[in-house]
Amino acid sequence: MSESEPLRRARALAAQIAACADRIEAERRLPEPLLGALIDAGLGTALVARVRRQ
């Protein structure tokens, strides 16, 4: 079974994400270069919280 394209893209960024982990925890936000890499990889919509309608 092959993995989905978004998952493949996220895994390709795993080292960059891990390298930023301490900074993310300290600042409670994604550093601009990492945010740009996620958006460039087509993962920007994964960063937006889903609003649940009641």
The Cβ of residue 23 has, within 10 Å, a number of other Cβ atoms equal to: 12
DSSP states along 1-54:
-PPPHHHHHHHHTHHHHHHTHHHHHHHTS--HHHHHHHHHTT-GGGGSPPPPP-
Instruction: State residue 40's pLDDT score.
Output: 94
The letter for the amino acid at 24 is I
pTM: 0.76
Q: How many domains does the chain have?
A: 1
Instruction: State residue 31's pLDDT score.
Output: 96
Q: What is the dihedral of CA 6, 9, 11, 16, to 10 degrees?
A: -130
Tens digit of pLDDT for each residue in 1-54?
Answer: 466 888 999 999 999 999 999 999 999 999 999 999 999 999 988 777 666 666
Instruction: State residue 2's pLDDT score.
Output: 60
Instruction: Look at residue 50 and tell me if it is in a domain.
Output: no
Instruction: Look at residue 49 and tell me if it is in a domain.
Output: no
Instruction: State residue 52's pLDDT score.
Output: 67
Instruction: State residue 46's pLDDT score.
Output: 79
Instruction: Look at residue 52 and tell me if it is in a domain.
Output: no
Domain range for 35 is 5-43
